Structure 1
Amino acid sequence: MELSKTIRLLGNLLGQVICEQESPAIYDIEERIRAASKARRAGDVGAAEMLAHEVGNLSAEQARAVAAAFALYFDLVNLAEENHRVSTLRDRVRDRHPEAIPESIDAAIKHLKDSGTTLGEMDQLLNDLHIELVLTAHPTQAKRRTLLSKVFRIAKQLERLTHHNLLPAETEEIKTQLYAEVTTFWLTNRARTSNPEVTDEVRTGLYFIDETFWNVLPRMYSELQNALDRYYPGLTISKNWLMLASWMGGDRDGNPNVTHKVTAETLRLHRGLAVEKHRAAFRKLSRLMSFDDKQLPPPQELNHWFEEKRPLPPHLAFLNERYSHEPYRLALALLAKELEYASREDMTQHLVSDEPHSAYIQVNALTHPLGIIARAVPEQIKEHELSPLMHQLNIFGLHAARLDIREESSRINSVVGEILRGLKVTQDFESCDAEHQLEILSGLLEQPAPKLARYAGITEETAETWSVFKLLARVKNIYGTDLIGPFIVSMTESAADVLAVLLLAGWAGCTDGLQIAPLFETVKDLEDSHAVLETLFMHNAYARLLRDCANEQMVMIGYSDSNKDGGYLTANWELYQAQENIAAMCKKHAITLTLFHGRGGTVARGGGPANRAILAQPPDTINGCFRVTEQGEVISSRYANPSLAHRHLEQIVSAVLVASSPQRKNKEIPRAWRSTMDSMASAARKTFRSLVYETPDFLQFWQEVTPLIEITRMRIGSRPSARRSGQQKVTKIRAIPWVFSWMQSRFNLPSWYGLGSGLAAAGDQDTLKEMYAEWPFFRALLDNTEMSLRKADMGIAELYVSLASDTVFAQQTFATIKAEYNQTLEMLLTITGYESLMQNEPRIQRSIDLRNPYIDPLNYIQVEILRRLRQLPDESEDAQVLRETMILTVNGIAAGLKNTG
């Protein structure tokens, strides 16, 4: 079915639901508002006034219903577009067969072969290859998990509708089911009744591992090996090179709800999913492998393994009698039974207790016998039935995904300071400068660990942080080192921030296999990052840790706070140079580097097409190693549909392979381009900070002309919106609400502000055009901004300006913003040579243009709701209804723009 027909079908079903569940009158109001909005976009002079009049006359209940209609419409349109993308992708694969489609794993390996990559170079690339996706629960997923499940069910029905051999009765049945699903969606409250708990977010992440990653990741392994067989016969890759990790339940930075007990429960939930998935797979294989021992005699190795398991549990003894000549079935049934016993283990209690304990089963107890079976059975059965399970065991183990631990440097320093006061080492560790802190830590790291019994004066907060280190030691002692990812130190400013973690880890006894990853976030910290690393590399205690980790160092760079600190252009250039400097420093000290990219969903937070971003990284900084966050709503948009998830993952793998090719490593960036970037970044930063940090009352302007305050009160995530409550500063408000609020009000300011001034400061437009044509980094920088500018709308933004209490100041500030917007737009079109934004992406350009008339009414309603809401006491009944409508507009605008924070 064509996309337009699918959207029309879903739109008609929604219209019927509105008439039936609300009233025909509500449907008529929604249609009048939609018509006025389309007329406004078409240039009708009086349409804007008509639209404002219609919205202004809505009662609170009518506003709620109309907002719900537009919000649900976008949920349905997004599903239709995703379904269409899957169909288009399948057609492309079919039409090009046997040739690979662009940006696939096969195409990447062919490119490497054609560009002269030798067998030895390819072997080295494969040895270095390590890609890890890190799921995070930052509060950018504005939709409830209950609604996500309904979205997925509608998607399944749309997928059925694309089948070409449906009978008429089957088509009608699907439409009937779609109508029922849309009705249940309409009748479900979009607003959460309470903030989601951390374990709710953990379960959401595990949902995607269960439904998508569990089957898609093994396919990537098979596809890479198939491509190697085709272009590099005889070359195999047996290591784990594509993995998952998570921050959900381990990200403590600014979130007091993530306690050590919550982390222990998170690990239990992870293990529970993995054990159940593997148990189901072994039970299925047991029924499948009913091979008679005379037809396929078992190897002696399997017989010995089986004998070691006697006496058998009662259930297995019964099967042994019944299927005595089917040893493969029995062996697999026994493994399934052992996993059943493992599922009953109270992991959380074992982790928070001090009682001795051993894990019931380790993953090698499964892979060893399965490997024996794999070597014994016919190749076809091994390839189609056993290999996927072997991959799943190797990828997910018995922990589903590694759990990273993240904590802010100031919290760690506070803990160290308090303990040192208790030990009477020093009274003012936190207030010491970085050099003095380094001196104190260096001395302590060379001394035996003290006995840290409870002593007078320790606060509950410090005890909680210390408990995390003790928990990590317990996890590694009982379940091994595979469960835990790196310890990430956010807001790292100095080597002492990292060594403080090492000190606590050493005292707790959890340094075995520990990776400590500094996170550099602000512009200054990015500039200092390589110097911080050199101090660490030359430090005796840290050098010992590195040797234990095979001289591998992970470094995380933050795209969000650097943007809020210096603006889009400056942040991206500082990030680029920081990566170059970090890579050079690691190379100097013979350290293997993995750069961990803290990207969000929006352009302002490092978002954009992942493959384009990877290929735009500095030469010689990836080298097969790539780690990136997948945050909030990005997870559902990329990984809800397994076919689209597969496409996204193969594009990532393809880009990492191509970016790591020997031919790209030594590519030099012309000095003139660097000089141009330096001058542009300086001008852009000046413009950005002049507005955001030097304009008096800018914070008040931001709070009044965006739904910032209302968003921070929404029950979106478990983490507070600011690092410390009660502090009214731009620097203290997190980057996510910073981006989210500007996106909602259609300014999209963080994704472009300052860029126009920066580009204008370059002067030489020919150089800029040359950079755009030949430098992937600069091209990606501008292409990503195009998308943001296309989604921005100064006309809609001006509606929000009318909410400001100081109208003169607000209009002056808006005039400054609009002037920069116009300059950015003009400079972009001049450099790209386009007549309009996104001209080179006509499909996306058309999608945005078609969506705008449906997003605009939600903005008009949101402005009206904000106006009314801000005049009412918080506890009033009317305010509660308006807040519910506010959530509907936030959801709808996010769905329409396909972006939150």
Structure 2
Amino acid sequence: MPAPQHSSNRETTFTQEVVTRFELYNSLFLTLPFYQVKDTGILLPFFASHCEKGVAQLKSPSDIITSFFDEHVPGVDEREQVNRLFRFIQYIERQVVLFDAIEDSSFNKLSRTDDSGTLQGLLQQISADDEMRDKIREKLKNFSLRLVLTAHPTQFYPGTVLTIMTDLIEALKTNDINTVNLLLQQLGKTPFFNKTSPTPVDEAISLIWFLEHVFYYALAGIQTRLNEEFDLQELTSQIFELGFWPGGDRDGNPNVRTDSTRTVAATLRQIIFRCYYRDYRILKRRITFRGVEEPMAKLGDLLYLNAFNPQPEAGNLQQEMIDLLDGIKDTLVKDHDGIFLDIIDDLSLKVKLYGCYFAGLDIRQDSRVLRSVFQYGLEQTELNNGLPKKGFDELSEDEKIKLISFNEVDYPCIEGEKKGMDPMINDTLCTIRLMHQIQQQNGEKASHRFIISNCQQASDILILMNLFLWSGWKKENLTIDFMPLFETVNDLKHAAEVMERLYTHPFYQEHLKKRGNRQMIMLGFSDSTKDGGYLMANWSIYQAKVELTAITKKYDIELAFFDGRGGPPARGGGKTHRFYAAMGKEIANDDIQLTIQGQTVSSQYGSIDTAKYNIEQLVNAGVTSALHPNHRDFLDEEHKKLITTMADESYEKFIALRKHPLFTEYLENLSPLKLLSNINISSRPTKRNAGAPLKLEDLRAISFVTSWSQLKQNVPGFYGVGSALQKAKDTGKWQNAVDLYKSSGFFKTMIDNCMMSMSKSDFRITAHLEHDEHYGDFWKQLKAEYDLTKNILLELTGNQELMQEYPIEKRSIAMRERIILPLVVVQHYALQKLKSVEDEELKSAYSKLVIRTVYGIVNAGRNLA
């Protein structure tokens, strides 16, 4: 059959291009003497093999490490053993980079065998179908894709390492062994982590690297191809947009301040002008004709000044740049036979795409903070306009909405510490004012979205609008999109009610009209998974989307969903393009907006080739799902009832686990959770209320998911799914569930992503806990649900093993898991030692050992996305 042959071809290519070349270059890598310990590279294969055998025999990490030193390096003291383990880690984390680079260098050869979902595949389908081509052209006029880069710490490579990776990929494409050798040596001597935690601005600069070196070219390249193929001459409706959170997302991050936001906005502006100037230099080498000297010189001066001598008062120069380029183009057409028009068109397209801002800087804050700011305002006589000074938050929702007055007041704010004023309150007011300045300098799209996280009621939005009017904004020029973020299971359940209150509120109605009658709503996966488990989170979001789409249509408003989708399936990741392709008619899908973060940035958008491929898949998913809605994806009432029953069962199972008295303690004592705050990859704390004792509700979803992934148990990605399916089986609904998997793209994608998450689990590593007096029963409970879920999913899908339908991804995961297995063993060994060692110096060393292993394990997880 064709499909198996196709799969076989890809597997053969993967073996030749990835597996074999990794073995070859890894053998070279292991001979390089990096760290004055000449036998580290020689010992590492023995150590890796010893860990594999020990884990297979279900030995404890302590037994594995102790027996290795007894057999291979006898006679060294404990400090030297720790030193050797550090050297192993340094090699292994670089092996991960080598494997990444080899996979990326082989990307075009691997993807050539799989055009499904790409722009090329779409064009082949419609090559002789003019009617379909016209339909797609019309669809593209109303379709948009917004990719938003976030600073969530699920992967972090310094810029120096990213640059080496980029060069290494290019050298590996041609198997330039001399250059590869030199780059591996450079990689070996380049630090992989920061000695101090990055600031929000540091995080922004790290992610701007991807904007400058990848997205700038990838999006423009795809837009050009779409223009050519579908005759989209002008960007009447911009298809691609970039969003940016570092420096703007202050939800729970006490280190983000108004000055961070200002600096990031200025940096984004400066970097985009540097990109333009880089292209201008190419332009200048070609456009050397009479008649264009003046506009060319003017354009060059404008770009150079803004690229290298920031002009804070320059304002939005987008139209001026476009006019200069149009003038040059007219002269070329009129007097010079239209030579080199393509270079002019390319730069002009980029200026239209990225303006003076490159990526729109979103501002995000928690509703509880915004309520505090509003209460502060009520206490100021010049602001309250007769509103009660005290007790506003205790009023009913109806009373709140009735009392909010929307009167304009130009209330001053002072950046920095203001005597007698809460810094968070002052920052919020100053940031609201700053958004106006950013729009004046970089253009409206530079910062026009304010996201209210933990949004629970309509008054949360109205309060924020009132704060804008208290901060100098005018009603007629309130060029801001106010976006609620619904994330917990309960908030998702009531989201439609909240939005209907807004849609029927006179002031909000007027505001929406000024914003093109378009509403954006953000739905978050991370906290809903932590709150209700994998199945309930996915189903709650699906149901919320259906209800929100219906209520928004009722009021004739255009709706765009913004999905907070993390890297791993437990945080909404997985096969993202399949997720969007599976949306049925009941869900608004003309606009695709999603966060990309952590390992997702480097794995899916780390090079121009991979970025183009993944962006094209999202475009394809959005266009084809609207043109050819798969009626099988329309869930009828029977299907919905079945999923609801399963989601409820899964939810009860997950909540029971969360309420287990050992749940938080297990995570704290057996995973690196308590040490995550010492890892210098993020400017944000691992939990809210940093000084208080650990509570699950305060724990950030990223820390929560990361801790389970370090344990190699990935509980948030599967727990409760097996019990839910078992209940369907026990109640005679099994065949319905099998039919649902075969017929519903949504359900299949959810199950396939669950299996991807499970394929990253390895309970053998913690198998020694089965006999632990304190944690034994709890571990067995987790393992039982894992085994049940695995077995029943294989039965549901008709497969013999997890991810059987995705053999390349399966092999890639297996290779990565094999590379980092020693890191996992070392981490659990060090965590065990921390409980018994009393020497403070050794205790510090073991803590650092744990922290260092986290880097490699997290970075290797890129294909969780």
TM-score (norm 1): 0.86
Q: Is the 8 A contact 1:117 1:661 kept in 2?
A: no
Note the residue ranges of structure 2 that are not aligned, 5 or more in a row: 1-15, 71-77
SS of the equivalent of 1:555 reads strand
Q: Is the 8 A contact 1:286 1:333 kept in 2?
A: no
- In the alignment, the residues of structure 1 paired with residue 402 and residue 37 of structure 2 have an alpha-carbon distance, to the nearest angstrom, of 72
Match of 1:203 in 2: 205
Match of 2:696 in 1: 730
**% identical aligned pairs:** 26
Asked if 1:794 corresponds to 2:749, the answer is no
Asked if 1:15 corresponds to 2:30, the answer is yes
The 10-residue stretch of structure 1 (335-344 or 549-558) with the greater mean CA deviation from structure 2:
335-344
Q: Is the 8 A contact 2:411 2:472 kept in 1?
A: no
After superposition, what is the alpha-carbon deviation per residue over 1:628-685, rounded to whole angstroms, capped at 9, x for unaligned?
Answer: 0011221122222211111111111111111222645896312111110010000000
Match of 1:528 in 2: 494
In structure 2, relative to structure 1, the CA distance for the partners of 1:437 and 1:736 (3 Å cut) is farther
Task: Tell me by how many angstroms 1:429 deviates.
Answer: 4.5
Q: Is the 8 A contact 1:416 1:500 kept in 2?
A: yes
- In the alignment, the residues of structure 2 paired with residue 45 and residue 197 of structure 1 have an alpha-carbon distance, to the nearest angstrom, of 42
- In the alignment, the residues of structure 2 paired with residue 125 and residue 479 of structure 1 have an alpha-carbon distance, to the nearest angstrom, of 30
SS of the equivalent of 1:16 reads coil
Aligned to 2:400, which of 438, 448, 463?
Answer: 438
Match of 1:353 in 2: none
Task: Tell me by how many angstroms 1:410 deviates.
Answer: 0.5
Task: Tell me by how many angstroms 1:852 deviates.
Answer: 3.5
Amino acid at match of 2:401: E
Asked if 1:561 corresponds to 2:527, the answer is yes
After superposition, what is the alpha-carbon deviation per residue over 1:611-641, rounded to whole angstroms, capped at 9, x for unaligned?
Answer: 1111123434244211100112211222222
- In the alignment, the residues of structure 2 paired with residue 275 and residue 669 of structure 1 have an alpha-carbon distance, to the nearest angstrom, of 48
The 10-residue stretch of structure 1 (594-603 or 7-16) with the greater mean CA deviation from structure 2:
7-16
- In the alignment, the residues of structure 2 paired with residue 726 and residue 47 of structure 1 have an alpha-carbon distance, to the nearest angstrom, of 34
Amino acid at match of 1:884: K
Task: Tell me by how many angstroms 1:776 deviates.
Answer: 0.2
In structure 2, relative to structure 1, the CA distance for the partners of 1:333 and 1:176 (3 Å cut) is same
Amino acid at match of 1:374: K
- In the alignment, the residues of structure 2 paired with residue 862 and residue 47 of structure 1 have an alpha-carbon distance, to the nearest angstrom, of 12
The 10-residue stretch of structure 1 (380-389 or 634-643) with the greater mean CA deviation from structure 2:
380-389
Aligned to 1:607, which of 570, 573, 580?
Answer: 573
Match of 2:10 in 1: none
Aligned to 2:435, which of 455, 472, 477?
Answer: 472
Match of 2:66 in 1: 53
What does residue range 15-94 of structure 1 map to in structure 2 within 5 Å?
Answer: 15-18=30-33, 21-39=35-53, 51-54=64-67, 59-89=81-111, 91-92=112-113
- In the alignment, the residues of structure 2 paired with residue 113 and residue 421 of structure 1 have an alpha-carbon distance, to the nearest angstrom, of 66
Q: Is the 8 A contact 1:492 1:519 kept in 2?
A: yes
Asked if 1:143 corresponds to 2:101, the answer is no
Match of 2:183 in 1: 181
Match of 2:250 in 1: 252
In structure 2, relative to structure 1, the CA distance for the partners of 1:133 and 1:468 (3 Å cut) is same
Asked if 1:770 corresponds to 2:772, the answer is no
SS of the equivalent of 2:247 reads coil
In structure 2, relative to structure 1, the CA distance for the partners of 1:530 and 1:665 (3 Å cut) is farther
SS of the equivalent of 1:556 reads strand
- In the alignment, the residues of structure 1 paired with residue 129 and residue 707 of structure 2 have an alpha-carbon distance, to the nearest angstrom, of 46
What does residue range 186-335 of structure 1 map to in structure 2 within 5 Å?
Answer: 186-228=188-230, 238-291=236-289, 326-335=290-299
Match of 2:860 in 1: 896
- In the alignment, the residues of structure 2 paired with residue 884 and residue 145 of structure 1 have an alpha-carbon distance, to the nearest angstrom, of 23
In structure 2, relative to structure 1, the CA distance for the partners of 1:667 and 1:102 (3 Å cut) is closer
SS of the equivalent of 1:517 reads strand
In structure 2, relative to structure 1, the CA distance for the partners of 1:783 and 1:586 (3 Å cut) is same
In structure 2, relative to structure 1, the CA distance for the partners of 1:671 and 1:147 (3 Å cut) is same
Amino acid at match of 2:764: G
Aligned to 1:158, which of 172, 181, 184?
Answer: 172
- Give the aligned CA root-mean-square deviation in angstroms: 2.8
After superposition, what is the alpha-carbon deviation per residue over 1:545-564, rounded to whole angstroms, capped at 9, x for unaligned?
Answer: 10110101000000000000
In structure 2, relative to structure 1, the CA distance for the partners of 1:676 and 1:900 (3 Å cut) is closer
Match of 1:829 in 2: 794
SS of the equivalent of 2:764 reads helix
Aligned to 2:554, which of 585, 588, 603?
Answer: 588
Match of 2:640 in 1: 674
After superposition, what is the alpha-carbon deviation per residue over 1:438-494, rounded to whole angstroms, capped at 9, x for unaligned?
Answer: 33653x21x343655889953333112110111112223444312113100001000
- In the alignment, the residues of structure 2 paired with residue 690 and residue 825 of structure 1 have an alpha-carbon distance, to the nearest angstrom, of 20
Asked if 1:369 corresponds to 2:324, the answer is yes
In structure 2, relative to structure 1, the CA distance for the partners of 1:279 and 1:865 (3 Å cut) is same
After superposition, what is the alpha-carbon deviation per residue over 1:405-457, rounded to whole angstroms, capped at 9, x for unaligned?
Answer: 11111011100001112226324346424515633653x21x34365588995
Q: Is the 8 A contact 1:530 1:581 kept in 2?
A: yes
- In the alignment, the residues of structure 1 paired with residue 343 and residue 792 of structure 2 have an alpha-carbon distance, to the nearest angstrom, of 56
- In the alignment, the residues of structure 2 paired with residue 513 and residue 844 of structure 1 have an alpha-carbon distance, to the nearest angstrom, of 44
Amino acid at match of 1:648: N
After superposition, what is the alpha-carbon deviation per residue over 1:712-738, rounded to whole angstroms, capped at 9, x for unaligned?
Answer: 321111111112213321111000010
Aligned to 2:300, which of 298, 322, 336?
Answer: 336
Match of 2:140 in 1: 126
SS of the equivalent of 1:470 reads helix
SS of the equivalent of 1:81 reads helix
Aligned to 2:484, which of 518, 524, 532?
Answer: 518
In structure 2, relative to structure 1, the CA distance for the partners of 1:382 and 1:176 (3 Å cut) is closer
Task: Tell me by how many angstroms 1:523 deviates.
Answer: 0.3
Asked if 1:549 corresponds to 2:512, the answer is no
In structure 2, relative to structure 1, the CA distance for the partners of 1:14 and 1:428 (3 Å cut) is farther
Q: Is the 8 A contact 2:155 2:858 kept in 1?
A: no
- In the alignment, the residues of structure 2 paired with residue 198 and residue 489 of structure 1 have an alpha-carbon distance, to the nearest angstrom, of 20
- In the alignment, the residues of structure 2 paired with residue 247 and residue 627 of structure 1 have an alpha-carbon distance, to the nearest angstrom, of 14
Q: Is the 8 A contact 1:103 1:650 kept in 2?
A: yes
Q: How many residues align structurally?
A: 824
Amino acid at match of 2:512: L
Match of 2:5 in 1: none
Match of 1:865 in 2: 830
Task: Tell me by how many angstroms 1:7 deviates.
Answer: 0.8
- In the alignment, the residues of structure 2 paired with residue 115 and residue 3 of structure 1 have an alpha-carbon distance, to the nearest angstrom, of 38
In structure 2, relative to structure 1, the CA distance for the partners of 1:115 and 1:747 (3 Å cut) is farther
Amino acid at match of 1:395: L
Aligned to 1:853, which of 811, 818, 822?
Answer: 818
SS of the equivalent of 2:466 reads helix
- In the alignment, the residues of structure 2 paired with residue 86 and residue 453 of structure 1 have an alpha-carbon distance, to the nearest angstrom, of 53
Amino acid at match of 2:409: A
Amino acid at match of 2:203: E
Task: Tell me by how many angstroms 1:47 deviates.
Answer: 11
Aligned to 1:785, which of 754, 764, 771?
Answer: 754
After superposition, what is the alpha-carbon deviation per residue over 1:548-596, rounded to whole angstroms, capped at 9, x for unaligned?
Answer: 1010100000000000000000000001000111111110011111100
- In the alignment, the residues of structure 2 paired with residue 81 and residue 456 of structure 1 have an alpha-carbon distance, to the nearest angstrom, of 55
- In the alignment, the residues of structure 2 paired with residue 622 and residue 370 of structure 1 have an alpha-carbon distance, to the nearest angstrom, of 37
SS of the equivalent of 1:617 reads coil
Q: Is the 8 A contact 2:823 2:853 kept in 1?
A: yes
Task: Tell me by how many angstroms 1:888 deviates.
Answer: 2.9
TM-score (norm 2): 0.90
